[in-house]
Chain A
Amino acid sequence: MPINAALIGSGNIGTDLMIKALRSKLINPVWMVGIDAYSDGLKKARNAGLKVTSDGIEGLLPHLEADNIQIAFDATSAYVHAANAKPLMARGVLVIDLTPAAIGPYCVPPVNLREHVGKMEMNVNMVTCGGQATIPMVAAVSRVQKVDYAEIVATVASRSAGPGTRKNIDEFTRTTAGAVEQVGGATRGKAIIILNPAEPPLIMRDTVHCLTADTPDEAAITASVHAMIAEVQKYVPGYRLKNGPVFDGKRVSIYLEVEGLGDYLPNYAGNLDIMTAAALRTAEMFAEEILDGSLQLTAVNA
């Protein structure tokens, strides 16, 4: 029996996540929470048979117990996340944070999902779309040899960046840079995001530059990068290496493209897919733990 879940935030990310969750064997999306009764996301959720509220988190809390909600995804904004997470965790609901608030530990599935097993965490953070797209590559280099500095450039189509992302642009750069260090394994990290309004919209592009401490082992890094690409492709099939790795002294540059499945926004919005697919994969791992009894959810006062 799948684990019941609530989706908070009915914007681009929340709606795309809902469509993916409806296909999951381990996660059963029951509630969709928004703040605008007429939003496209809530309309789609209602049509898909979910319960909906446009009263924000307050509209959900009274129903958690009756509907046995054990996992909540928060796809609102960094500013709202803390207020959402507190009452959920206090009621023993595990929170998967898709905002850059980063209250809980970072999770980038192909790099550190297994590290979260058995930790009894009640809040994990999915970094950012740019982080999900690039940190696996930073890790692919840093598992071969020491990376002194890593920098990522994420370029997304303007149409795929909703108001939350736009208001949170500083949080995006800070959170991504932090996770490039903590999860990617670089001593120092930097993140840059660009919104490009071109029509037709461009497919998400991501560039990863690393500076290795010593001369890069080209063969080992190239093999590691290709192996990691295959790992990401398991849950985001449109994750592709466009160019590189390019070696220039101690610089290693990797040029990526992320094409989405077109679940909510069209295929160009790979930034949605890589975030929602990573969040769902993370939730499914926790669901397996809940189902086999190895994870008992406990109320936490954050």
Chain B
Amino acid sequence: MNLKGRKVVLHDMSLRDGMHPKRHQISLEQMVNVASALDAAGVPLIEVTHGDGLGGASINYGFPAHQDDEYLKAVVPHMKQARISALLIPGIGTVDHLHMAKDCGVGTIRVATHCTEADVSEQHIARSRKLGLDTVGFLMMAHMVSPEELLVQAKLMESYGANIVYCTDSAGYMLPDDVTARIAKLRAGLRAETEVGFHGHHNLAMGVANSLAAVEAGAARIDGSVAGLGAGAGNTPLEVFNAVLARMGAETGVDVYRLTDVAEDLVVPMMDHPIRVDRDSLILGYAGVYSSFLLHAKRAAAKHGVPSAEILVELGKRKTIGGQEDMIEDVALNLRDAARARAAQ
């Protein structure tokens, strides 16, 4: 693979996707410290706020330590070169949140939908673009559709005003060939000025390999999390991916050593549990289940006395998608009742 001289924009997820393993409890001080260190290391894009994006504060997804605007107002003024981004999932957040984020100084809005539902993003993408923001269309659970179907949806987002469209491997299910096929299809089918991005999860330990495949196939922007702090087994570990790109002669503008320091000195000490491919996160990747379900499934398993792995497998069978965290307790209760019925026989 020859990526020499390729420019790759890295986008850090540790303060947004990383909110999932932190149960949305990252403090304002931690947000500011990590974002400032990423900024100093040269990371050009940093996402903050609730793991489920703007407006994600809820019983279903978890109440965060602070509100969206508090995080944004705390972090944005400290940035010297990095741009702050926010995620918005229509159906959870609204255009009102988008305006709030813009007023807080966000430079990038990422509008996320399930990979077949791009047409719910029209209001939000169009408004973001009209406000002059870097506007990302973010197609989640992209393993569930063919490259051709993904392109149809990507074109919708492009038509609403997205200047970059992402193939998002929310379940960490894809293998490098899956990534290559999708990114190449998007790159060939979208307008030349529309960029393509990739967001990976490390549930099958393919984060770095998949991200390399994405760059080779034409992706200009890649998501990762410093120290991998993200849902499931985490995102593509950003400091590792950056080092690999440096070895290959690709250009990220991010300092290898300083980013490694951020991972080791700031982010790893913040972790409530090691972010690794454990049994449950492996099942996420293997069965194609939304990575953010992980801790919710562990909690429901503990409360209702059923194995978390069984809950995750059943959620995969039910073809649940991102946002359906409410089905986790529902499935757990059904498994509990089924086990009780068997025991009574």
Nearest 9 pairs of A and B residues by beta carbon:
A198-B319, A207-B326, A209-B59, A170-B94, A197-B116, A243-B333, A193-B91, A153-B326, A194-B323
Given contacts A158-B116, A170-B90, contact A205 B303 (CB under 8 A): no
A151 touches B59 (CB 8 A): yes
A192 touches B320 (CB 8 A): no
B324 within 8 A of partner (CB): yes
Cβ proximity bits B50-66 to A, threshold 8 Å, 1 near / 0 not:
00000000111000000
**Given A194-B324, A198-B319, A202-B318, 7 new contacts (CB under 8 A):** A153-B324, A153-B326, A158-B116, A167-B123, A192-B92, A205-B327, A205-B330
Q: Which residue of B lies closest to A205 (CB)?
A: B327
Given contacts A155-B324, A194-B324, contact A207 B90 (CB under 8 A): no
Q: Which of B297-328 contact A (CB under 8 A)?
A: 303, 318-321, 323-324, 326-327
User: In the complex, what residues of B have CB within 8 A of residue A255's CB?
Assistant: 326, 329-330, 333
Given contacts A166-B119, A243-B333, contact A192 B90 (CB under 8 A): no
Which size bracket describes the interface of A in this complex? 20 to 34
Given contacts A151-B58, A192-B58, contact A169 B123 (CB under 8 A): yes
Given contacts A195-B120, A197-B114, contact A153 B60 (CB under 8 A): yes
Given contacts A166-B120, A197-B114, A248-B303, contact A174 B58 (CB under 8 A): no
Where the two chains meet, the residues of B that have a C-beta atom closer than 8 Å to any C-beta of A are 58-60, 90-92, 94-96, 114, 116-117, 119-120, 122-124, 303, 318-321, 323-324, 326-327, 329-330, 333-334
Given contacts A153-B60, A158-B116, A198-B319, contact A253 B329 (CB under 8 A): yes
A20 within 8 A of partner (CB): no
- How far apart are the CA atoms of A155 and B323 in the complex, in Å? 9
User: In the complex, what residues of B have CB within 8 A of residue A192's CB?
Assistant: 58, 60, 91-92, 323
A and B contact pairs by CB, cutoff 8 A, 29 listed: A149-B59, A151-B59, A153-B60, A153-B323, A153-B324, A153-B326, A155-B326, A163-B119, A166-B119, A169-B120, A170-B90, A170-B95, A170-B124, A173-B91, A190-B58, A192-B92, A194-B323, A195-B114, A195-B120, A196-B320, A197-B321, A198-B319, A202-B318, A205-B326, A207-B326, A209-B326, A246-B329, A251-B59, A253-B329
Residue from the list B60, B94, B333 in contact with A209, Cβ < 8 A: B60
User: In the complex, what residues of B have CB within 8 A of residue A197's CB?
Assistant: 114, 116-117, 321
The DSSP consensus for interface residues of chain A is strand
Residue from the list A170, A209, A211, A251 in contact with B123, Cβ < 8 A: A170
- How far apart are the CA atoms of A195 and B321 in the complex, in Å? 9
Where the two chains meet, the residues of A that have a C-beta atom closer than 8 Å to any C-beta of B are 149, 151, 153, 155, 158, 163, 166-167, 169-170, 172-174, 190, 192-198, 202, 205, 207, 209, 211, 242-244, 246, 248, 251, 253, 255
Task: Say how far B319's CB is from chain A's closest CB, in angstroms.
Answer: 4
Task: Say how far B271's CB is from chain A's closest CB, in angstroms.
Answer: 26
Task: Say how far A199's CB is from chain B's closest CB, in angstroms.
Answer: 8
Q: Which residue of B lies closest to A192 (CB)?
A: B92
Q: Which residue of A lies closest to B303 (CB)?
A: A248
- How far apart are the CA atoms of A170 and B117 in the complex, in Å? 15
- How far apart are the CA atoms of A202 and B329 in the complex, in Å? 18
A194 touches B91 (CB 8 A): yes
User: In the complex, what residues of B have CB within 8 A of residue A202's CB?
Assistant: 318-319
User: In the complex, what residues of B have CB within 8 A of residue A173's CB?
Assistant: 91-92, 94
Given contacts A197-B117, A207-B326, contact A167 B122 (CB under 8 A): yes
B330 touches A243 (CB 8 A): yes
Q: Which residue of B lies closest to A209 (CB)?
A: B59
Task: Say how far A270's CB is from chain B's closest CB, in angstroms.
Answer: 16
- How far apart are the CA atoms of A214 and B60 in the complex, in Å? 20
- How far apart are the CA atoms of A248 and B323 in the complex, in Å? 21
